[in-house]
Chain A
């Protein structure tokens, strides 16, 4: 549906840039250092459901109510990216992906390149089966924001900053 030129990834990156969301591309081998470069300690995270990478040891993957309040960075997996809007889809998981992506000042979303789709229609079609089975998902686009205090402010109840790491896992764009 989009008439914007460029590949799906380029469109995704351009829309993220417009949202002031930084994005890095990483191979499985460089994932650890890419992650370290963008996070601030203390960092908490939830298990990445990917075969090629897992969270490094320095990320606390057993968040507690206390660390949820104290940590500055939250790392979670995105199940889809939507190029047309620069959105990432964050599934609600039993591991706590929802609070970990929400309570910290910086949210780092890890997205596999092959999970990037072009438009929202495709994204919602893919989400359909999960939602039908009683699961939940958040389409998150940029940092949280409010205009209620007299000017646009980033970082209302949710993260002030968002960073997306696109994981090159050998797959093509998911379209």
Chain B
């Protein structure tokens, strides 16, 4: 346990350091890229078709990968190149070092120094980062120069990439200028990005001209033709590929696509998802060895191609221009073929490494890839990559920074379920852990399906429903006890609950108890009938005209089952009451049965078996209501997201679809009632343009359910302003955890700053509301509490 406490402190210190050193630059760059991506996506009508098409191509390619490896070998060899399938990093590095060594032996010894030190120029390649190629080549006495400007800056700074697309994203312009000024001691300090770029271009141009070998990655490799596609903006990959005589392209085996036509959706999507560009500056499609002449800069005045002046074509045997190029395609396994066999990690291989999951992630925007990353890869999808190529421990270092908020799901151009991969890898890490000495502390609280050894804090938060039930039964004693210093100290030490975070106040009377006490479903039916009768009297004549043949028939003939999620039932009972009163006022009778937990809490801790069991119980408990045509109305967006997203993996398809189709988010449901003729008069409507600041919830946005709430507020006479900062930073248990408290507050502060002094503020999510109430120091109710007939905070 002491180890875990220390580990939490170390993690907290590391992240605190990153927040203060790299956070500002990362946030500025990553959030700008995310906004551009979102704008470009929104402006692309064909986007969803493209994403589906790209995903299907990748799924097919990974399925047929062994065949494609044979195909590409034949194609590249037919073109005159060589394919090497490397088992692992050491294998790949050894092969590349041999190629470099072979390419420099036998050269004319007109420049003894150059011959002594073989040199390589590289364009940006995360795959070569994965295998630590530069270190391996340098150990063999080979000089390696990165030519992507970001990678070059990092090479000089001796740092690792903080982002898979923008590797030096964590450095400010001034820091880059200082670094290069110090390294190259120019006559005048580099001041502008233009001056820096011009210097870099000239300096690196020289390295490229001198180099023996050019090494590139590959964004895609076309099996059918042996074509490698490089997608770049700077042009350095073009130069590295064709200037030196020897070109080595290194790519993971997952980069293979079957045929040339398959490139088209990717060429379109990769730029949109990475940077919001409609297309990258250069899409280089090389079927090497290329036709371009090699250029011998040691013979500066001989035409690069003999005989070009008469337009009669080329005689490769003459002049300095030569066409004896050498090309090697190194395809790297390094765990990928095993990932292909792994049902949960396989999707990771669809990744085209655009970085959209990083850019769309609030925690990534806060700490960058040096915090939210493993040995090589960073961002949401990195958990899958690191687990697959470096092993679970590398993934475990940062995996908890994924809160499952799901904002990356709609950003990913190949529709990878990145939160699910994070959940699964977290589950595996939990199971790998040794049983802890203090497991007995939480055993009584934790009726879960998990093995011993699980982090106590995770186990606590994963079983929060049971905790809440016990705490509610013991309230207010439990609240008082939890507020005392000794108890907070124990909670911090054992469970990792940060002492600076306010704990929820548990209510003695739960929502379910309150509902039963006021008469249960029978009383609710009476109230709903009264509401209908009142409205019926007012609108009877109109409806008789509108609905010929259905005199008196109510357009709203619905019954709702309100889901008493853990938080609503035990803590924020008021929003539950507001929901009941609103539905009844609109003529909808309500039931509030004591339903099982959704599984959201254990899912967020990587406790998949527990979540699976809860999903089955929940479904069994509501299926009769669904069959009876009642609507399951959900207040908490994260629970609805479990029903609509994760349950697809936990329930049989028909059960999943039935629950999904029969459940709705509360405000969307109410908006639909109004749309279908319900009368908003009994609600607390505004005057038409009453301002209200509305903060939606991450998972709610991913489900496309922000718009119905703003529509509802507008319909009820308000003028909702939605927040552009997407994430509150709380994310359920995340903001409670000792190691992440400061990241949580950093993320949340951006939202609080945007809201400023605006009032009133409403938020859909439990933890969004909690975080905002803490940071804004004023009440932040659920939108339904604004609209409910008797106003909010009224018993």
Contact = CB atoms under 8 A, between A and B. Distances in A.
Interface of A: 1, 3, 15, 46-47, 54, 61-66, 68-69, 85, 87, 92-99, 102-103, 120-121, 124-125, 127-128, 131-151, 153, 155-159
Nearest to B240: A157
Given A87-B279, A141-B279, A136 B153 contact: no
A158 B304 contact: no
A103 B278 CA distance: 24
Given A156-B149, A156-B201, A135 B287 contact: yes
A160 to B, nearest CB: 9
7 contacts: A65-B301, A94-B323, A95-B305, A134-B226, A138-B285, A148-B150, A156-B234
A93 B193 contact: no
Contact of A134 (B287, B302, B313): B287
A134 to B, nearest CB: 4
A15 to B, nearest CB: 8
Interface residues of B, number: 85
A65 B296 contact: yes
Contacts of B261: 121, 124-125, 128
B193 A102 contact: no
Interface stretch (B126-134, B168-176, B571-579, B604-612): B168-176
Given A94-B305, A138-B285, A150-B172, 15 more contacts: A65-B302, A93-B291, A93-B292, A94-B293, A120-B268, A121-B264, A124-B261, A131-B222, A133-B287, A141-B283, A147-B275, A149-B200, A150-B171, A150-B176, A156-B201
Nearest to B148: A148
A98 B304 CA distance: 12
Contacts of A15: 278
A122 to B, nearest CB: 9
Given A140-B282, A155-B201, A134 B79 contact: yes
B21 interface: no
Contacts of A157: 147, 201, 204-205, 234-236, 238-239
Contacts of A144: 233-235, 281-282
A15 B280 CA distance: 14
B45 A3 contact: yes
A138 to B, nearest CB: 5
Contacts of B314: 94-95
B233 A95 contact: no
A3 B45 CA distance: 9
Contacts, number: 218
A157 B203 CA distance: 10
B149 A149 contact: yes
Given A68-B304, A148-B166, A150-B176, A138 B238 contact: yes
B194 A153 contact: yes
B260 A131 contact: yes
B166 A1 contact: no
A38 to B, nearest CB: 20
Contacts of A99: 242-243, 292, 295, 304
A66 B286 contact: no
B97 to A, nearest CB: 26
Given A94-B291, A134-B79, A65 B304 contact: yes
B676 interface: no
A62 B201 CA distance: 24
Contact of B290 (A68, A92, A153): A92
Given A94-B323, A150-B193, A153-B197, A158 B291 contact: no
A92 to B, nearest CB: 5
A149 B311 CA distance: 41
Contacts of A102: 235, 238-239
A128 B293 CA distance: 22
A138 B284 contact: yes
A46 B166 contact: no
Contacts of B263: 124
B54 to A, nearest CB: 13
Nearest to B222: A131
A62 B308 contact: yes
- What 5 A-B pairs are tightest by C-beta distance, nearest first? A150-B173, A158-B235, A156-B234, A148-B150, A66-B300
Contacts of B687: none
A79 to B, nearest CB: 12
Q: Taking each of B79, B205, B286, B289, which has the highest tally of chain A beta carbons within 10 Å of its own beta carbon?
A: B286
B260 A132 contact: yes
Contacts of A96: 292-293, 295, 304-305, 308, 321
Interface string B29-60: 10000000000000001100000000000000
Contact of A148 (B153, B205, B222, B313): B153
Given A85-B279, A94-B291, A120-B268, A64 B233 contact: no
Interface string B302-340: 111100110101101000110100000000000000000
Contacts of B452: none
Contact of B287 (A87, A125, A136, A153): A136
A138 B260 contact: no
A65 B260 CA distance: 33
B225 interface: yes
A132 B233 contact: no
Q: Taking each of A66, A95, A120, which has the highest tally of chain B beta carbons within 10 Å of its own beta carbon?
A: A95
B193 A151 contact: yes
Contacts of A131: 222, 225, 227, 260, 285, 287
A153 B153 CA distance: 16
